[in-house]
Amino acid sequence: MTAVNIPGLLTVADAATELSRSTEQVRRYLREGRLRGRRFGGQWFIEEDALTAFREALNDQSSYLDKLRSAGQIQALDGVIGIGHGGGSNIAEGKDSYRRSSWWRR
């Protein structure tokens, strides 16, 4: 699995393959400190245990899209446009009210 002769260490390319990420993304994780690794001669190496822990942490995190509810559950615009209840539910009343309040601006 490792392309280097140091047992227990992976190259960035090996880690990228394991994580299904690009090599640049893995380097970014290393620079940000999200993934533990060591530099030897300007090249990053990742311990297999650190990669396993990082992969598990990625799997535990729910993605942003998983946290979102569907629009049918939220009904976000109902309060704004007043569909079926509250102010603004009668379009004709709203139009007349707008005309009455803005006639003096002319």
CATH number at residue 51: 1.10.1660.10
pLDDT tens, position by position, 50-86: 999 999 888 766 666 676 767 666 665 555 555 555 5
Number of domains in the chain: 2
Angstrom distance (rounded) from CA 26 to CA 14: 10
In a domain, 33, yes or no: yes
In a domain, 1, yes or no: no
Angstrom distance (rounded) from CA 102 to CA 58: 56
Burial of 23 (0-12, 13-18, 19+ CB in 10 A): middle
Domain span holding position 31: 9-61
What pLDDT is recorded for position 7?
81
| Residue corresponding to tokens 């140091």 | 6
Answer yes or no: do 21 and 51 share one domain.
yes
Q: Is the pLDDT of residue 32 over 70?
A: yes
In a domain, 68, yes or no: no
In a domain, 82, yes or no: yes
| Phi–psi pair at 10, nearest 5 degrees | -115, 150
